[in-house]
């Protein structure tokens, strides 16, 4: 959320995350509660991916810059692994989902109101100095959070909370379009189709999706449509061609270097060696090509294995718990997290969000859902 970026003066640069981490580790030291990592095959692969990133950092083209980025990644990964230790029941899981929804939802609601007030003419941005500062990244993050809002909406008992979530969902959709992100447009279409596929009442959900799509599209100004039309003429778009150049650069890097070129090496020096157009220096703008250039083909394989493992775990939970009343909430959460993954895996194809906290949080959530589902299944079996 980076709430301190909304402040000014000393609060703007206060290391709040570091302070919270210190308190968290101190509380873990004094806690008498038994904690252990869930048993899941993803976890050793995940740990090895983190180690592999350290190896590629050691052999990086710019080692000093790579170590700075690797330290940031390690901090994110450590806190994510603590999540696996601390979130040990569904009640705590709901607190976690609420935290994620409020953190990103703050910007989605604020941005949606801004979009409505400007008639769709203004572009929405995220908090400065964060992974989601860019309008495109913010849009994908919001698309990842909306399914979690749907989960909370369908499982919350208080009417005023349900109404607030429903309004937040609708306003958040305005934010996604208000970001004027072409990648987000592709992602929102894919998410809508997948959500319709996963929903029970396909006729009702289909009508609602078409209705809200019509309302949203009718609201957006002509300038928005002109920007979206450039998807069809990407050959004439400098940004799109720059991404293709960067993607081809990533393939050449991985083919020539088993460990890639390390983190933070998207530079004029490396583009001069590997890019088709060495003068068009771009960031990866893709979770896949970012990992490919940073950590080589083996690193990309590990990354994809983790994402596939999380997806497959959710599918197993949904299939095994079908028809079970006791597992209704778990199955719903599993379905919504899959929708969130669709938003990330599709929208992330056009964004450098490989190391962003939220998708790794969702991997942890998928593992925990798998764990809770098994525990619930065993308890039902024994009774």
pLDDT in tens, 226-284: 666 555 444 444 467 788 889 999 999 999 999 999 999 999 999 999 999 988 888 88
Bin 101: left if φ > 0, else alpha if -120 < ψ < 50, else beta. alpha
- Nearest to 178, CA basis, from 190, 170, 93: 170
| Average pLDDT estimate for 215-232 | 61
Q: Which residue has the tokens 């976890």?
A: 43
Number of C-beta neighbours around residue 315 at 10 A: 14
| Structure confidence at residue 379 (pLDDT) | 65
Confirm if 117 and 133 have CB atoms less than 8 A apart: no
| Average pLDDT estimate for 95-104 | 95
Alpha-carbon distance of 189 to 13, in angstroms, equals: 38
| Structure confidence at residue 114 (pLDDT) | 87
Give 219's pLDDT tier (boundaries 50, 70, 90).
Answer: low
* 3-class DSSP assignment, residue 69: helix
Q: How many residues does the chain have?
A: 383
- What tokens does 32 get? 């008498």
Taking all residues of the chain, what is their mean pLDDT, rounded to a whole number? 86
- Nearest to 318, CA basis, from 298, 341, 300, 299: 341
Instruction: Determine if the pTM surpasses 0.85.
Output: yes
Give 83's pLDDT tier (boundaries 50, 70, 90).
Answer: very high
| Average pLDDT estimate for 317-340 | 87
- In 36-148 the beta strands, taken as DSSP E runs, fall at none
Question: Which H/E stretch holds residue 200?
Answer: none
| Structure confidence at residue 260 (pLDDT) | 95
Alpha-carbon distance of 59 to 244, in angstroms, equals: 26
Top pLDDT among 59 and 215 is at 59
Alpha-carbon distance of 121 to 117, in angstroms, equals: 9
Q: In the predicted model, is pLDDT for residue 130 greater than 90? A: no
Q: In the predicted model, is pLDDT for residue 289 greater than 90? A: yes
Give 135's pLDDT tier (boundaries 50, 70, 90).
Answer: confident
| Structure confidence at residue 378 (pLDDT) | 67
Q: In the predicted model, is pLDDT for residue 335 greater than 90? A: yes
């Amino acid at each position: 959320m980076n709430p301190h970026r909304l402040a000014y003066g000393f609060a703007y640069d206060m290391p709040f995350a570091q302070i919270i981490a210190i308190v968290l580790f101190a509380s873990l030291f004094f806690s008498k509660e038994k904690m252990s990592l869930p048993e899941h095959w993803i976890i050793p692969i995940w740990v090895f991916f983190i180690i592999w990133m350290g190896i590629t950092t050691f052999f990086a083209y710019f080692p000093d810059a790579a170590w700075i980025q690797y330290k940031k990644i390690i901090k994110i990964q450590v806190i994510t692994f603590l999540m696996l230790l601390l979130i040990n029941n569904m009640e705590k899981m709901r607190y976690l989902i609420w935290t994620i929804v409020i953190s990103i939802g703050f910007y989605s609601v604020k941005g949606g109101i801004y979009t409505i007030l400007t008639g769709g003419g203004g572009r929405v941005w995220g908090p400065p100095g964060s992974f989601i500062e860019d309008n495109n990244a913010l849009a994908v993050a919001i698309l990842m959070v909306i399914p979690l809002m749907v989960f909370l909406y369908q499982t919350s008992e208080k009417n005023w909370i349900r109404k607030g979530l429903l309004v937040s969902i609708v306003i958040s959709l305005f934010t996604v379009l208000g970001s004027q992100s072409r990648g987000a447009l592709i992602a929102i279409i894919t998410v809508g189709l997948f959500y319709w596929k996963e929903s029970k009442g396909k006729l009702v959900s289909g009508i609602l999706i078409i209705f809200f799509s019509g309302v949203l599209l009718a609201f957006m100004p002509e300038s928005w449509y002109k920007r979206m039309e450039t998807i069809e003429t990407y050959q004439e778009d400098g940004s799109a061609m720059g991404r293709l150049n960067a993607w081809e650069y990533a393939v050449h890097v991985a083919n020539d270097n088993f460990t890639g070129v390390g983190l933070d090496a998207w530079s004029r020096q490396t583009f001069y060696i590997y890019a088709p157009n060495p003068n068009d220096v771009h960031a990866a703008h893709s979770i896949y090509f970012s990992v490919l250039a940073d950590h080589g083909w083996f690193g990309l394989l590990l990354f994809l294995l983790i994402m596939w493992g999380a997806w497959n775990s959710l599918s197993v939970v949904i299939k095994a718990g079908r028809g079970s009343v006791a597992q209704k909430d778990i199955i719903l959460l599993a379905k919504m997290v899959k929708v969130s993954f669709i938003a990330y895996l599709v929208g992330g194809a056009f964004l450098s969000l490989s190391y962003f906290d939220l998708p790794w949080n969702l991997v942890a959530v998928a593992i925990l859902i798998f764990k809770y589902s098994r525990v619930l299944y065993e308890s039902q079996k024994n009774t």
